[in-house]
Structure 1
Amino acid sequence: MTSPLQGQEGHYWTEQYGTRSMLLSGSVIGGVEDLGAVFYNPARLGQVENPSFLLSADVYQISNFTIEDGVQDGVDTKNTDFGGVPSMFAGTFKIKAWPEHQFAYYSLQRARLSVRFNFRNESRGEVLDDLPGTEIFEAETRSNSSFREEWFGLTWSHKLSDNISVGVSANISILNSRKSNELFLRAFLEDTAEVGIYEYRREFRYNVYGFLWKAGLAYQKERLSWGLTIRTPHLNIINEGKYNYQEYYSGFTGSSIDGYYANSYQSGLKVRRKTPFAIGGGVTYSIKEKNKIHFSTEFFNGVNSYDQLVAKDHIAQSNPEDTISFKVVERLRPVINFGIGLEWYINKNVSGYASTSTDFSAIPDDAPQFNNQEAVVSNALLNANFLNIGGGIVLNFRGADITLGATHTGGSRSFERPFSFPEDGGGGTLETNDEGRVRWNRWRIVFSFSVPFVKSYTKKLEDKLQNLQKKN
């Protein structure tokens, strides 16, 4: 099994953007001070000093994904993945005709999910109830889920006064999603030397290109800064879906189950995607000037049940009376997340950070699982509530600033097994009323190195170029 898993449809605060924002668990709507402003509050871009030369962090991720009792009691599958995390790419620019306005461009990874689950088991005994004698029985399952969303955007911000600014981020969203499930059952009857094979495959995938806005208002005066944001629902622009289905069975002499043959390959299916309206707010307050407390909250409206992808009904070639239907439905419940972060001044060379925030799942508990082979499914993988925890230090030296920190996100959830493999020596037919449990933990190591004198020199050079442009 492979994984990383970072965010999915139904989780909104799993990802953080920018060095300080990561250490503060994203609780920076009111006081973001780096280029993460394009995501958290675009109005803050007009209040961040020299944002074009703030450096992003290097982030390394350790992700652990565990499925307990996934297909059999006492059988767990674990996977640990380590690697770098793609950072947000962003920069600022000016337009000569509007010198009092700030602009930024950026791309960021909004969500990434990739989980592959494989399991194989072989047993010998009276596994198949309707057949006499013993069998050598082999069962194998493969499940694959991937979900990837990228945002590309432009941000505009303008100061209405010394204390108040406004801003808007316009985002193009590119989403690619795929789910597949495979089940293979093979049996050898020792008494008759017959072989029976059952194969089942079902897959859907889709691409959606869309557009959404995020607008913000920011206020800053002395020790207090606050911000308000709104985010629009996703507007579909281009979409396309595919669906594949295969089910085959070659039976035994004397079996009560006839041979079976069914498949369908469909493309060009219409896809819909709906995301909630969201409104957020945050406050940052300076205590004795050098220490700060951050608080943020964001409410996401629910989305009523709708058909995300609907395949055309098709019949089994071996049995024209058997009609096979399939559709992906989506429903999101309303959630509200909270975050709190602390910055404290230790001495002139060291500052510390500590934070926590929630990431409640918007996926309902009764969302139909894709692996259960039902006609109606959802695209959800892990509808667990997550908790984000972050912390670190900033070391300020003459000629260099170093940021060191770590964050943790995790959660767990029980699920109904789509099937249970029989244990060695028999144990009856496949059962579907048992439960397993999925756990996910992600650690991220944050490292950032910046050289202040390079920033200062570059700022002076930028000012000279702007003065030359004004003279011309």
Structure 2
Amino acid sequence: MIRVILTGILVLCISQILFAQDANYWSASYGPGAFFTPGAVIANNQDSGVLFYNPALQALTKKKTASITGNIYQLESIKVKNGAGTGKDLHSRIISSVPQMLSGIVSVGRRKPVYFGYALTNISVLNYNVSQQQDAKLDVIDRGGSPGLEYYVGQYNFQNHTREASALISTGFRLSNRWAIGFMAEGQSRSQHYSEAFTSRALVNDSTSSTQPLASNEGAYQVDDHHIGLRLKLGLSYEAGKHHLGLLLSSPLIHLRGRGTLLSNNAIANVHFIDDEPVNLLANTRQTNLKTNYKVPASIALGYAYDYDKGQVYAAAEYFMKEKDYNILTPRPEFFVRPDTGNSNLSTVALLEMREARKAIFNISVGVSYRLKPLLTGYCSFRTDFNYADRKDTDGFLPNTSTWDNYYCQLGVNVKRSKYNLRAGVLLGYGHTNSYQQPINFDDPKESNLLSGTIGTVPATRITAALVIAFIHNL
């Protein structure tokens, strides 16, 4: 019976800090849906020789180029309204300036040169940082020994920083006047810092004691992990006058190496959770050199472009397969609950692991270019970025923060010269949900809910605005 109660308390205690933007595939501005970014297309790009996303397109150009693309100014705002209780919003606002891509095409050989494309990308997948506090007199202790209101202090903070860097190399060959084929290898490095913690404390109004006892619940969970993987891609291109078709097949991410560190601390003191006897619990661990495994499913992308008198109309779509529930980080079944009862560590792995599952996603993009002047072209594109998070249970922790779909629009111009192209524009993004689960609720902390409040769902909104610039130099 003790083990059952202990396990139940641990599950409730730790699950209170489960927190479910980073669960999206097309967030990066250089993907197949970003018509504005040079070369980030499936079917065709008339204005730039930087054709790295579909490697088959390299066979259609004989240019040697070098390019740099970056967000010289970017604002990302994520706001969870009443995220920690009424009037206690969780608001993360990040301003950054980050180069995103270095890319180009080089040739090998003189008589029959072979052209290779390369790209180095750097993505800030998520930079989320929030905190909140409640300091008030509330009716927290619901037993008869503490009449009236108690002094209560609750704090919550959460950080989720995820970055990805990739190195790509590709080449393409003509099969005929209309058909071309290309191959690409992409090495990916992903790092994440995930840190979530809360404290919830109340002074008990105990008339039988000369001091006021403290009832408290606190929990913390931190993971730092790094993963290296490899994706292989096969591209096809078909050209028929004004019509351009492209196909890109991407393999699942192949695991090469992954390591992580886990730190967890949970303590409950003097909380009458189930009966008249107070609960006192201490559970903590630190584990290093844990194996990590981050998965990306296989995908298939299609693109079509049509040339008209003043420009081009473009459409692209990509379908990502589903990914079954798996562990990103699996802790060892080591000593966790203190004192050890001999059975209390049976659920350590389930409570502390980091897991995710992904549903199948189908993203689409449309774009249009219009020649304003002989050397000046305007661009406009729109794309979806649907959320793939698909975990249903509450064991362990989720690596993601977002649970909403995003939509992006890009507007810009391309200035063309004999030796270079200069492209500049703005990126606007929006995402929203009305059913975001609170991580904690400071409105009604009670002993019956371990001083964590009654968790509900609230609105959450994400807004992104960026000034993007790309420079392509013809070598």
Shared fold, TM over 0.5: yes
**Partners in 1 of 2:292 and 2:421 — Cα distance?**
48
Aligned pair partner of 1:149 in 149, 164, 176: 164
**Partners in 2 of 1:350 and 1:279 — Cα distance?**
33
Q: Structure 1 unaligned runs (5+)?
A: 1-6, 369-373, 460-472
**Partners in 2 of 1:301 and 1:145 — Cα distance?**
25
**Partners in 1 of 2:271 and 2:82 — Cα distance?**
31
Please report the RMSD computed on the Cα atoms of aligned residues, expressed in angstroms: 3.2
User: Residue 377 of structure 1: SS of its match in structure 2?
Assistant: coil
Residue 18 of structure 2 corresponds to: none
**Partners in 1 of 2:211 and 2:121 — Cα distance?**
58
- The answer to whether the aligner puts 1:418 opposite 2:431 as a matched pair is no
Shift of 1:204: 2.5
Counting aligned pairs with the same residue, the percent is 18
Shift of 1:356: 0.7
Residue 292 of structure 1 corresponds to: 312
- Tell which deviates more after alignment, 273-282 or 179-188: 179-188
- Tell which deviates more after alignment, 245-254 or 404-413: 245-254
User: Residue 176 of structure 2: SS of its match in structure 1?
Assistant: coil
Residue 444 of structure 1 corresponds to: 466
8 Å CA contact 2:101–2:122 kept in 1: the answer is yes
Residue 310 of structure 1 corresponds to: 330
User: Residue 277 of structure 2: SS of its match in structure 1?
Assistant: coil
Residue 180 of structure 2 corresponds to: 165
Give the letter for the 1:167 counterpart.
Answer: G
Aligned pair partner of 1:376 in 367, 392, 396: 396
User: Residue 443 of structure 2: SS of its match in structure 1?
Assistant: coil
- The answer to whether the aligner puts 1:435 opposite 2:422 as a matched pair is no
Residue 207 of structure 1 corresponds to: 226
**Partners in 1 of 2:258 and 2:302 — Cα distance?**
33
**Partners in 2 of 1:302 and 1:344 — Cα distance?**
37
- The answer to whether the aligner puts 1:328 opposite 2:347 as a matched pair is no
Residue 17 of structure 2 corresponds to: none
Q: Structure 2 unaligned runs (5+)?
A: 1-20
Q: Which has the higher contact order (CA 8 A, sep 6+)?
A: 2
Give the letter for the 2:211 counterpart.
Answer: A
Residue 355 of structure 1 corresponds to: 381
- Tell which deviates more after alignment, 310-319 or 151-160: 310-319
**Partners in 2 of 1:156 and 1:275 — Cα distance?**
23
Q: What count of residue pairs does the alignment treat as equivalent?
A: 438
- The answer to whether the aligner puts 1:64 opposite 2:77 as a matched pair is yes
Aligned pair partner of 1:301 in 321, 334, 359: 321
User: Residue 194 of structure 1: SS of its match in structure 2?
Assistant: coil
Aligned pair partner of 2:256 in 218, 237, 254: 237
TM score, norm. by length of structure 1: 0.83
- Tell which deviates more after alignment, 168-177 or 19-28: 19-28
- Paired residues for 1:182-261 under 5 Å: 182-189=197-204, 192-196=210-214, 197-251=216-270, 256-261=277-282
Shift of 1:138: 0.5
Give the letter for the 1:88 counterpart.
Answer: M
Residue 344 of structure 1 corresponds to: 370
- Tell which deviates more after alignment, 22-31 or 377-386: 22-31
- The answer to whether the aligner puts 1:129 opposite 2:149 as a matched pair is no
- Tell which deviates more after alignment, 92-101 or 79-88: 92-101
Residue 101 of structure 2 corresponds to: 88
Give the letter for the 1:257 counterpart.
Answer: P
8 Å CA contact 2:387–2:404 kept in 1: the answer is yes
Give the letter for the 1:297 counterpart.
Answer: A
- The answer to whether the aligner puts 1:79 opposite 2:99 as a matched pair is no
- The answer to whether the aligner puts 1:31 opposite 2:44 as a matched pair is yes
Shift of 1:396: 5.5
**Partners in 1 of 2:409 and 2:463 — Cα distance?**
12
Cα-to-partner distance string for 1:420-458 (whole Å, 9 max, x where unaligned): 11369x9995433322232111111123567xxx84xxx
TM score, norm. by length of structure 2: 0.82
**Partners in 1 of 2:39 and 2:155 — Cα distance?**
42
Shift of 1:245: 1.8
**Partners in 1 of 2:203 and 2:135 — Cα distance?**
11
Shift of 1:303: 1.1
**Partners in 2 of 1:172 and 1:152 — Cα distance?**
5
